[in-house]
Amino acid sequence: MIARNIQVVKEKIIQACNKVSRVDNFPILIAVSKTKPIEMLQEAYDAGCRDFGENKVQELIDKYDKMPKDIKWHMIGHLQTNKVKYIVDKVALIHSVDSLKLAMEISKEAVKKNVTVDVLIEVNVAGEETKFGVKPEDTEELVRKIAVLQGIHVKGLMTIAPYVENQEENRQYFAKLRQLSVDIRDKNIDNVYMDVLSMGMTGDYQVAIEEGATYVRVGTGLFGERQYIV
Ligand SMILES: *Cc1c(COP(=O)(O)O)cnc(C)c1O
């Protein structure tokens, strides 16, 4: 079932690339496995997935220990500074940096463990009050401040678009994030790359790819609906 879902999503990714004649920088599918059991992750792994996304530190560490070591783990959820130390040497990319305080903690722990941590700046492009992320107009300033820290590299930007019925409604936000990354890249800030755009989820990844996403984060579309136990 999961293998079939992966195949379907990958076909849609190719379709989206073809629609805009995109030939290079093929988007990478992150299997968002939060709340899902190891057996399902293993199924996705066996079907070829090597990028997994989690939003809770404890869950990420548990799964990191149990799953094969060639997986790239993506921290996509809000990260508390006191938990940074548990994941800096385990994750390939932290998508959710939205404050200097968090970046400084990542830098401190990275230096301690002698690693370099790649991060994205989470931008609240749609200005939703319920969402984390910096405002578009504050992004460059934050990037500049993080750029001088040791052990941390800003690789690009991430956004979580609003939940919508019709993904076309989110095109404006994806386009805005891409433009913001281009604007910042044009400033040629030392130690800042801006070649990663993490945007698009189950409901809107095709439009996100058309607008330049390099990572799409798909959960429900691969593993089915999530059940949250409260
Ligand atoms: C849960 C989550 C996703 C995946 O959402 P789906 O709609 O299930 O694809 C993507 N990104 C983030 C940051 C998430 O928390």
Question: Which of 55, 59, 120, 122 is the best mutation target for the ligand 1 pocket, counting ligand atoms within 8 Å of the beta carbon and taking the most?
Answer: 55
Number of domains in the chain: 1
Does 201 sit in the ligand 1 pocket, CB within 6 Å?
yes
Structure tokens at 160: 């979580």
**How many Å lie between the centroid of ligand 1 and the Cα of residue 30?**
10
Q: Is residue 78 part of a domain?
A: yes
CATH of the domain at 115: 3.20.20.10
Q: Is residue 228 part of a domain?
A: no
Block mean pLDDT (10 aa), the chain, length 230: 97 97 92 98 98 98 98 98 98 98 98 98 95 97 98 98 96 98 97 96 98 98 86
- The pTM of this model reads 0.97
Residues 6 or more apart whose Cβ sits within 8 Å of residue 180: 123, 125, 136, 139, 157
- Confidence at residue 23, expressed as pLDDT on a 0 to 100 scale: 85
- Confidence at residue 229, expressed as pLDDT on a 0 to 100 scale: 65
Q: Is residue 20 part of a domain?
A: yes
Domain that holds residue 30: 2-223
Does 218 sit in the ligand 1 pocket, CB within 6 Å?
yes
Backbone conformation region of residue 179, classed left if phi is above 0, alpha if psi is from -120 to 50, else beta: alpha
CA nearest neighbour of 61 among 85, 40, 82, 87? 87
Are 35 and 228 in contact by the 8 Å Cβ rule? The answer is yes
Q: Is residue 229 part of a domain?
A: no
- Alpha helical stretches, state H, the chain: 2-19, 38-46, 57-66, 84-87, 100-113, 136-147, 171-185, 205-210, 220-223
- Confidence at residue 181, expressed as pLDDT on a 0 to 100 scale: 98
